[in-house]
Amino acid sequence: MDNETHLPQDDITDPSANAYNENKELKAISPPQQQPPLIHPKPKKIKFVATAGLCLISAVIGGLTTVAAVPYIYPTSTVSAISTAKSSLTQVANLTATQTTFPVTQIAKNVGPAVVGVSNFQASQSRLGNSDVQEAGSGTGFIIDAQKGYIVTNNHVIDGAQKITVSLSDGRILVAKVIGADPRTDLAVLQISDTKNLTAVTMGDSSKLEVGESVIAIGNPGGTEFARSVTTGVISATNRTLDIQGEAGFNLIQTDAAINPGNSGGPLVDSQGQVIGITSAKYAETGFEGMGFAIPISDATPTIQQLITSGVAKHPALLVSTDDQYNTYAQSSNKPLGAYISEVTPNGPAAKAGLVKGDVITKINNISVQNSSDLIHELYKYNVGSQITITYIRNEQTNQVQATLGEISSNQ
């Protein structure tokens, strides 16, 4: 909050006070003279009343004239605009009044108990040759269903785990099982059997976010030692894309709320205490600070529901493999960038459309594609069975073809 600035006021001199002092001084040095009576005669008083009445009548007439002239002096459109502005201000005031915001302390108390630590245990070989299961990494998750014990986290938090434990706010450490995990969206759903005294988060709507809104990140940076750490910030941007497996399919939320290793899978919460994102990545290049990213909860929910229902998530696909090493060659050779097809699945959507190895996809429905991440991002906008137009380059010739999107699941 900016500090209040008090500007120094100029010295203000009352001109009437100066005049009074000057007259008094002049009277003091003037010789005594015969002065007329200071009480005005009655006729003067009558004249004053008549003058005052005339002024009052003139003021009334002038006021009525001004009111009558308003439509001519200020056109109707201007008056209407003023009325509209007042109406808009009223609407904004009413809208603001209906939104309940909570202080960070209250949000931390409400949401904190729903945030859990997630530990990934994997087999390791000791120096003596003995195999043992040890903690290989940790992250964060949050409870979305207190009755059934469902917990959401990132896939990369539990990837490769042979055992997963969850630490609750009340000190309990429980073994969790994987209900479903999807590397393509970096989402996973866990479940714990002991559901006693669990607290679930409230889901928000990330589709209505605006840049500048306040947000709170709650997570376990560095493990259980710093469990349920709270950091605050704002939404720095929306619709960000990252060339990272799992995040490439989403328009990510960018925030300056501090996100550190161990925060992955934790909730990003708005000022109403509702989860609007899943913290998943941080821009860690030297010299950059305050650039964290979260998966929008509204975009993640369909995948989460699929994982709970069937244990797998299904996505639209062309069923091709791509290789971005082509772009290094393209840049040095002044050729168009795109998604280079390194392999085509037989009888898949791309194969049926006539695409072959070596083709470079440059557009999906007239939207530019410059690499593999762009291709995934565009394909995930559609449903399985949707028909799309693909622009591609073959032998330095630009071509177009229609393709019907197929399906690929998280366990493929």
**Residues involved in catalysis:** 156, 186, 264
User: How many angstroms separate the CA atoms of 33 and 125, rounded?
Assistant: 121
161 half-sphere exposure, CB direction, 13 A CA radius: 26
Q: Is 172 buried (19+), middle (13-18) or exposed (0-12) by CB count in 10 A?
A: middle
User: How many angstroms separate the CA atoms of 349 and 320, rounded?
Assistant: 9
Cβ contacts of residue 255 below 8 Å, gap of 6+?
Answer: 215, 217, 233, 234, 235, 236, 268, 277, 292, 293, 294
Structure tokens at 25: 């001084």
User: How many angstroms separate the CA atoms of 203 and 298, rounded?
Assistant: 9
Return the exposure string of 271-307: e unless at least 16 CB atoms fall within 10 Å of the residue's CB, then b: bebbbbbbbbbbeeeeeeeebbbbbbbbbbbebbebb
Q: Which of 253, 213, 217, 254 is nearest to 232 (CA)?
A: 217
Q: Which element (helix H / strand E) includes 324?
A: none
User: How many angstroms separate the CA atoms of 142 and 227, rounded?
Assistant: 12
Q: Which of 352, 351, 353, 349 is nearest to 382 (CA)?
A: 349
